[in-house]
A and B are shown apart, each in its own frame.
Chain A
Amino acid sequence: MIYRENGQFKTTYAADQQIFTIAQDKVFVLGVIAFAFIGIPLLADEYMFRAILIPFLILSLAALGVNLLVGYCGQITLGAGAFMAIGAYAAYNFMIRIDGMPLIFGLLLGGLASAGMGILFWIPSLRVRGLYLAVATLAAQFFCDWAFLRLGWFTNYSSSGSVSISNLSVFGWGIDSPLEKYLFCLCFIVVFAFVAKNLTRASIGRQWMAIRDMDVAAEVIGIRPMWAKLSAFAVSSFFVGVAGALWGFVHLGSWEPAAFSVDRSFQLLFMVIIGGMGSILGSFFGAAFIVVLPIFLNQVLPALGHLFGIEISTAGISHAELIIFGSLIVFFLIVEPHGLARLWSIAKEKLRLWPFPH
């Protein structure tokens, strides 16, 4: 009743090609952005920013990148963590080796380095597809794990193997408090989400989707598979690389290669699959789910055990977390294989009819 497109006529091509063609969608998205910029800083406390909101924002950016590759171009990757690492270490090296490098440039250059390495790593993968490809991407993961651990140049020969960066500032505005960090990440994610949305609506995104749906048929109608796949790899690696740089700089502050291990890659793929493949919104849902669930379990399980008079040991809790996390993932895959984004579109369908039954 409230949510419907009746009566919203498009009289120009420009109006027809808007990002959000339905007025309610536009209002909703603008509302969410306004809430994120104004409402959340007023409501959330420091713990919320540190533990939930900042990781959520950065990981949704990474999930967005992975989703462009997995959801839109149909190339499964298990090596996303490696490209986060490349982004983080490249940005670190740009920042410390070039004097007076502005922070934003540093982060973007980290992303570009990641994109370059992405293309390099994916060239051998062009001939491979499906699950073979998924395993082949692990090559990038293990190579990067090793390179950042063993090759001293990347970590500026730091003795402990961990690198750190401090005194972040943009245009003289120091990013120190959790609130400032949150706003900084939010600016990035808003811009990148719009870029991603537009990419998927443009010819390049349509090429990716054609390749995903059937690569041979796409080739027959004149799409160059190599160009389409490589561009997807590059763009995806860029997004993931920027997210990795943000993760290292803003969220962790100082980090080791273990921060970008193969578990991180799995986590990103989980986000995409649980959130919904081929959906920008789904990346956010997936990231929220994966970030919040462990924290939630960590808080609730001891309380629950206490309620029934059982003292669960820390090891017991971590095992229970594993079990519940694993079964919830399987449960979600069974109940909604198309992800949380699908639930959202079902809700929109229902809203269209509401409050009438038909």
Chain B
Amino acid sequence: MGFFVETLIGGLMAGMLYSLVALGFVLIFKASGVFNFAQGAMVLFAALAMARFSEWANIALGGDNLFLANVIAFFAAGVVMFIAAWAIERLVLRNLVNQEGATLLMATLGIAYVLEGIGQTIFGSEVYPINVGMPKDPVIMFESLFEGGIMINKEDFIAALIAAILVAVLTIFFQKTPVGRALRAVADDHQAAQSIGIPLNRTWVIVWFVAGLVALVAGIIWGSKLGVQFSLATVAMRALPVVILGGLTSVPGAIVGGLIIGVGEKLSEVYLGPYVGGGIEIWFAYMLALVFLLFRPQGLFGEKIIDRV
């Protein structure tokens, strides 16, 4: 029983991390109708920027104030993500208004290649550590309930907490601030939003910037767990089933979907994996999403599509 709960909690934590990446997808899809395949590349790019800036800032500060170096690096990486968002809007999206979904999807794949190339050219292509002072040691909890207790990674716990805070902040940002309202208006209807004076181009820059910040947070958390390296870009592939499971247009969907996928992956790997040779995590997530789609083609919380001739 204790082992089951441990796996379950591990799955929930992993799911939280997937949700962070999935959030980026949902934000951009909501505001511009672009299915952003570059989200993984953005995570890599942001994490690389963060890791290297922190390293450089640490050297510049003399190596005794890691916290300050990290804060400087965070803001520097934020600026880099803003420049990236601005460049993407300016050079790509603005020129592809009104194109089909497939074309836009391909364009974001192109952006992903460019981001991966530029990121590795500027920041280097080795494995870099991110040290933001996350505790690495595991703790044992609930010893009174289960025999031997449950081992939880403190790092995972903090990551989940950060993800929860981020979601709360995003929800407030979307619901309460004028910029958030503008974003929702654009998501609802481009033309109507434009006709009441909301500048589309600026909105897109903002939403790509927000997605970039989400990618930065995801990159920091993933990076401090695994180190910043090229494989971080493939995290997007792991987060895709989360998005379709939760619904492309729903922020809560990304969270709930992430939790379901995280738990499903871990449980399947532990209980089903040994019978078929292991390594089933990644396709099991997709199959799980596919089965959900059979019953709800628009995802758990997605908007129902109504067809008219």
Contacts and interface: CB of A to CB of B under 8 A. Distances in A.
Given A214-B309, A319-B117, A323-B121, A269 B106 contact: yes
A333 B293 contact: no
Interface string A335-350: 0010000000000000
A70 B244 CA distance: 20
Contact of B106 (A136, A217, A220, A273): A273
A130 B101 contact: yes
Nearest to B100: A337
A293 to B, nearest CB: 12
B293 A124 contact: yes
A134 B248 CA distance: 12
Interface stretch (B9-17, B53-61, B220-228, B279-287): B279-287
Contact of A326 (B112, B244, B277): B112
Contacts of B279: 146, 149-150
Contacts of A136: 244, 286, 289-290, 293
A277 B100 CA distance: 11
A322 B95 CA distance: 21
A139 interface: yes
Nearest to B302: A132
A216 B237 contact: no
A127 B296 CA distance: 9
A262 B106 contact: no
Interface in A307-356: 315-316, 319-323, 325-330, 333-334, 337
B273 to A, nearest CB: 10
A323 B117 contact: yes
Given A138-B237, A139-B286, A337-B96, A150 B277 contact: yes
Interface of A: 70, 76, 124-125, 127-132, 134-136, 138-139, 142-143, 145-146, 149-151, 214-217, 220, 262, 266, 269-270, 273, 277, 315-316, 319-323, 325-330, 333-334, 337
B102 A273 contact: yes
Contacts of B179: none
A143 B308 contact: no
Interface of B: 35, 91-92, 95-96, 99-103, 105-107, 109-118, 120-121, 125, 237, 240-241, 243-244, 248, 276-280, 282-283, 286-287, 289-291, 293-294, 297-299, 305, 307-309
A326 B283 contact: no
A103 B283 CA distance: 32
A337 B286 contact: no
A329 B109 contact: yes
Nearest to A129: B297
B228 to A, nearest CB: 16
A330 B88 CA distance: 11
Contacts of B286: 136, 138-139, 142-143
Contacts of B280: 146
A131 to B, nearest CB: 5
A225 to B, nearest CB: 11
Contact of B240 (A70, A135, A217, A325): A135
Given A127-B294, A136-B290, 15 more contacts: A129-B305, A132-B293, A135-B241, A135-B243, A139-B283, A142-B282, A149-B279, A151-B276, A273-B103, A319-B121, A323-B121, A326-B109, A329-B113, A337-B100, A337-B103
Contacts of B115: 326
B87 to A, nearest CB: 11
A330 to B, nearest CB: 4
A224 B243 CA distance: 30
A349 to B, nearest CB: 22
Contacts of B99: 333, 337
A277 B101 CA distance: 13
Give me the 8 closest cross-chain CB pairs, A-B, nearest first: A326-B113, A322-B117, A323-B117, A139-B286, A329-B110, A326-B114, A142-B283, A330-B110
A269 B114 CA distance: 18
29 contacts: A76-B102, A76-B105, A128-B297, A129-B305, A131-B248, A134-B105, A135-B240, A136-B293, A139-B241, A139-B283, A139-B289, A142-B283, A149-B279, A214-B309, A273-B106, A319-B116, A320-B121, A325-B110, A326-B111, A326-B113, A326-B115, A329-B107, A330-B91, A330-B110, A330-B111, A330-B114, A333-B96, A333-B106, A334-B107
